[in-house]
């Protein structure tokens, strides 16, 4: 076989050997690409993510965030809700309260600068409780060995609550049975602590903009379901990431046209890296999907073309 034929054959093999997109489902995984999406700049769709106890930022939510961003039109990215995420003895309540207050402050700050952006709030485990506390109000319960102070929730009909397009809580610590926004079978059970009536009233004010994932045997969100296993608390993202992303996209997509009058920074000129035009943001999404494969393939293709021409 000639060198020219060998190069052509190798090119064809690589063309049909496209690798699958790398996933980032757990905080211990190396997900360097996440930095391309993290920003506090004005965007068409912006996510606020509350990690679970003891997890490094951004926790288990990175892949869900990417699925949502890759599905929306316009610019998209996220910022972490800043809080300790501590579950040490007696510290859970203060940690959750800090996350609630910080998260609400971050939402207010963002909507003041970016009034035309749509916001999505995501949380897992303790972070799932934080998200519900932010929206519906929290506290007034004894949980994880401490008494959680009451914190007022957001008004669903005024800014910033009215700017929340969707909120998803995964395996929250404090939750109540028999809620119509719970999916995957955990709706029959309370969490480690149940939410107060006022908190539930605040959550229901957000209507069909909220969803909660809880399955039986999860020791955090459904401890009374029996035969609990921590794996049932950790495998939500292996099973239902795409489903959750599709649900969020249905709520966000009708209103993701980039804004032209954001204060501070224009959503049309900023993207996942904090300073990308919308077209550059789309190109960045494609780059993540191709990874090293695209670079190798393009280099090989160029080499074949040059060899044939020469």
Upper half-sphere CA count for residue 126 (Cβ side, 13 Å) = 27
Other Cβ atoms closer than 10 A to 258: 22
Residues spanned by the domain of 176: 24-294
Other Cβ atoms closer than 10 A to 123: 30
Residue 307 within a domain? no
Residue 152 within a domain? yes
Q: Low-confidence residues of the chain, pLDDT below 70?
A: 1-30, 32, 254-310
Residue 197 within a domain? yes
Residue 301 within a domain? no
Residue pair 100/154 in contact by the 8 Å Cβ criterion? no
Query: For position 109, what pLDDT does the model report?
Result: 98
Residue 19 within a domain? no
Other Cβ atoms closer than 10 A to 9: 11
Residue 267 within a domain? yes
Integer Cα distance of 99 and 97 in angstroms: 5
Query: For position 27, what pLDDT does the model report?
Result: 55
Residue 13 within a domain? no
Residue pair 202/215 in contact by the 8 Å Cβ criterion? no
Q: CA nearest 122: which of 71, 75, 155, 78?
A: 78
Query: For position 36, what pLDDT does the model report?
Result: 87
Residue 80 within a domain? yes
Handedness of CA 101, 106, 107, 113 (dihedral sign): positive
Say how many domains are in the chain. 1
Q: CA nearest 69: which of 234, 269, 278, 209?
A: 278
Integer Cα distance of 3 and 62 in angstroms: 44
Integer Cα distance of 65 and 51 in angstroms: 12
Query: For position 103, what pLDDT does the model report?
Result: 99
CATH of residue 104:
3.40.50.1820
Residue pair 259/266 in contact by the 8 Å Cβ criterion? yes
Query: For position 253, what pLDDT does the model report?
Result: 85
What 8-state DSSP symbol labels residue 285?
Answer: H
Integer Cα distance of 14 and 34 in angstroms: 27
Q: Which residue has the tokens 């990690």?
A: 51
Query: For position 125, what pLDDT does the model report?
Result: 98
Per residue in 105-117, is it b (16+ CB within 10 Å) or e — as a string?
ebbeebbeebbbb
Residue pair 205/156 in contact by the 8 Å Cβ criterion? yes
């Amino acid at each position: 076989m000639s060198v020219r034929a060998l190069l052509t054959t190798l090119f064809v093999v690589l063309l049909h050997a496209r690798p699958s997109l790398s996933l980032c489902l757990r905080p211990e995984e190396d997900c360097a690409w996440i930095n391309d999406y993290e920003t506090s700049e004005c965007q068409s769709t912006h996510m606020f993510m509350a990690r679970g106890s003891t997890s490094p930022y951004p926790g288990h939510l990175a892949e869900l965030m990417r699925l949502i961003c890759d599905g929306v039109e316009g610019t998209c990215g996220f910022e972490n809700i800043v809080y300790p995420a501590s579950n040490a003895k007696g510290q859970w309540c203060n940690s959750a309260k800090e996350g609630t207050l910080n998260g609400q402050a971050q939402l207010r700050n963002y909507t003041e600068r970016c009034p035309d952006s749509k916001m999505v709030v995501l949380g897992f485990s303790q972070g799932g409780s934080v998200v519900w506390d932010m929206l519906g109000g929290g506290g007034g319960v004894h949980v994880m060995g401490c008494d959680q102070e009451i914190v007022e929730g957001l008004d669903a009909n005024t800014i910033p609550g009215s700017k929340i397009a969707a909120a998803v809580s995964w395996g929250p610590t404090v939750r109540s049975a028999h809620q119509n926004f719970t999916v995957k079978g955990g709706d029959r059970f309370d969490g480690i602590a149940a939410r107060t009536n006022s908190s539930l009233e605040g959550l229901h004010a957000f209507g069909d903009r909220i969803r909660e994932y809880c399955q039986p045997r999860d020791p955090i969100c459904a401890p009374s379901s029996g035969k609990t296993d921590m794996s049932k608390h950790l495998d939500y993202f292996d099973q239902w990431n795409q489903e959750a992303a599709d649900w969020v996209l249905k709520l966000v997509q009708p209103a993701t046209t980039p804004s032209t009058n954001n204060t501070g920074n224009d959503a049309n000129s900023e993207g996942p890296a904090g300073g990308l035009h919308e077209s550059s943001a789309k190109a960045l999404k494609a780059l993540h999907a191709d990874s090293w494969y695209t670079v190798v393939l393009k280099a090989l293709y160029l080499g074949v073309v040059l060899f044939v021409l020469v």
